[in-house]
Structure 1
Amino acid sequence: MKEDTRKFEVLRVSILSHCSFACVYCAPKNKPNPNILYPKIHYLTPELLESKIDILKNHIEIKEVHLTGGEPTLHKDLIQLIKTLGNLQVNEIAITSNGFFEDGLIEKMKQAGLTRMNFSLDSFSQSGFEKLSDRKLPVELLFKRILEAKQTGLEVKVNCTVLKGYNDGEILDLLSWAGENKIPIRYLEFMKMGPLQEEHADCFYSAEEIRNTIIKKHNFKPYRTPIDSTATYHITDEGFIFGIIANHTEPFCEGCNRLRMDSLGRIYGCLSDQTSFDLPSESSEVPVILEKAMNTKKTQFTGSELSMKFIGG
């Protein structure tokens, strides 16, 4: 039997269980919330984050902390959370956002210690954006925020969750925009998470279909991909870099190094398992809990009723 050499190195923290959008793949209309774990909105406090990181750092090497949500920029103590991570000597601090937040926040986050921003960019058009997000907001602001983050000096990536019948016709437009602005774009297979479990097959657009769409206009070849990356990267003849995160058709579970924490400070070992664990303050008990969390990891992504709105990507 092959020895499991996986270890936790990246901590993804959902700092609040709330989002300003109602994206179709996360919180569609007329769908009950299947997750009874979050009857109210919860915000992770800087104090709780510090205590949990302190516990974890004594047992695992944390290379990166990635703040997610919900929409993390809605957290009133976001800057303090980032500063807390910096004070704990976390070198890589990232955040994923929908891009709709107050002016000046990007610079404040960078000054606090943020090193990377990932933006959800699911549509190039205004109509497509409204259909996916269920919000009548100007998509131009999202493009502006992405370029602002890049100009501020942060490392920037954009993520596009591809859904058949929604935005599969915008793959090439998004690649051109991102490539021309020298920003890597990652296309995500729609994951079988949360309230769209039954409709998953109808909306699913595979990694192969994404590549077949891109090859119609761009020749491409493999590009350097970190060994622990969730995406497989390619580069076009024009120099456009894109990645594909194919949880379902090309699973990468065997190399997963991610540990997740929710807004209550509970940890999860796998997106395909909604079992959570409390981190004990007693140091001798922590390795047992981490081993239990590791044992929830799957060899292939199977999905979960846990909505991405509550546990992050």
Structure 2
Amino acid sequence: MRLNMKDQLDRPLRDLRISVIDRCNLRCQYCMPKEIFGPDYPFLPPSELLTFDEIERIAKQFVQLGVEKIRLTGGEPLLRKDLSLLIERLVQLEGVYDIALTTNGIFLPKYANDLKKAGLKRVNISLDSMNDELFGAMNGRNVGVTPVKKGIEAAKKAGLEIKINMVVKKGMNDSEIIPMATYCKENELELRFIEYMDVGSTNGWKMKDVITKKEIYRQLQENFDLEPVEADYFGEVAKKYQYKDSDVLVGFITSVSESFCTSCTRARLSANGYLYTCLFNEKGHSIRDFIREGADDSALSAFIKNIWQQRTDRYSDERTEETAKLRKKIEMSYIGG
């Protein structure tokens, strides 16, 4: 029988992000710059990735400790072979009510129906510009917006809920704030503006490149009438608003300008099986090695619980441009968003 969260952990653990692969089919200015992640970059061999059996076993222990939401990430998770088979297994975990996936959308025309049949509820699609030339320059492969739009349409037809994630960087794609908001409003898509963060140690982050929620909101107000929406649950990261003439929502992830460390309920499992209690951790804890050395489920549960209970993460509260330079953090391709 599953216990109440408060009976299991002093600090709530509600949301688990699982990175299933460290590769991506598009480069990203924010986490996979081409000067670092070129054709000779040593990505993980298959033996270092968690198997589906291992992911299911670990996820089960997290659910018994209070997790209700699981999101599959990468890299690009749809590069992991037979991903729908893993989703079929995860949706069977009693207590999980939301299974989602973060993707760049390009493979959704091929896989959206299978994902929906497997039990996936939602896709978070990364799209940082509506301009073909700009988007092509940002992804480093000259891929335009059309393949992502086709992925969005495929997800809609399959019956998947959709959220669009846009990371905004000053001087790069801040001119796309209104075009993106207009596109999402017209197509009834929930949009999340994400402040440009110092994820990993290779994206050359500087505070001067950050467009804050306040600045983005000011632009939106000049074009749309917005009203605030209350959070759906404790620990919800996005600060949400609704267009007054529509049911469409727009939200902000404000890790830089308005940190939310004290209400964080999210753990992350990397592509190579390390547990991280913060997106900005320097070091993780190897669950993969722990279970491959023969730990039983009771020991695994205690291992996870002990790590979570002892977490002291406050990176976003303490961030400065200097600390961002000094601290070496796990790369986004390993840990996902």
Q: TM-score, normalised by structure 1?
A: 0.90
Residues 150, 225 of structure 1: alpha-carbon distance in 2 compared, 3 angstrom cutoff: farther
Deviations 1:193-249 (A, max 9, x none): 124464422421111111122122122120232232111001223324210000011
Q: Percent identity?
A: 30
* Structure 1 position 254, deviation (Å): 1.2
Q: What is the alpha-carbon root mean square deviation over aligned residues?
A: 2.4
Whether the 8 Å CA contact 1:269–1:294 is kept in 2: the answer is no
Aligned to 2:163: 157
* Structure 1 position 143, deviation (Å): 1.2
Distance 2:105 2:145 in 1: 9
Flag structure 1 segments of 5+ consecutive residues without an equivalent. Answer: none
**Which sits farther off after the overlay, 274-283 or 10-19?**
274-283
Aligned to 1:24: 29
Aligned to 1:203: 209
Structure 1 residue aligned with 2:257, among 234, 249, 258? 249
Is 1:101 equivalent to 2:74 in the alignment? no
Aligned to 2:5: none
Q: TM-score, normalised by structure 2?
A: 0.84
Residues 39, 46 of structure 1: alpha-carbon distance in 2 compared, 3 angstrom cutoff: closer
Is 1:287 equivalent to 2:302 in the alignment? yes
Aligned to 2:16: 11
Please tell me the residue identity of whatever aligns with 1:233.
K
How many residues were matched structurally?
A: 307
Distance 1:87 1:25 in 2: 34
Residues 108, 56 of structure 1: alpha-carbon distance in 2 compared, 3 angstrom cutoff: same
Aligned to 2:237: 230
Residues 9, 131 of structure 1: alpha-carbon distance in 2 compared, 3 angstrom cutoff: same
Is 1:309 equivalent to 2:317 in the alignment? no
Residues 10, 199 of structure 1: alpha-carbon distance in 2 compared, 3 angstrom cutoff: closer
Deviations 1:6-56 (A, max 9, x none): 3211110000111111111111132479xx996546543211112212333
Distance 2:61 2:244 in 1: 47
Aligned to 1:72: 77
Whether the 8 Å CA contact 2:109–2:155 is kept in 1: the answer is no
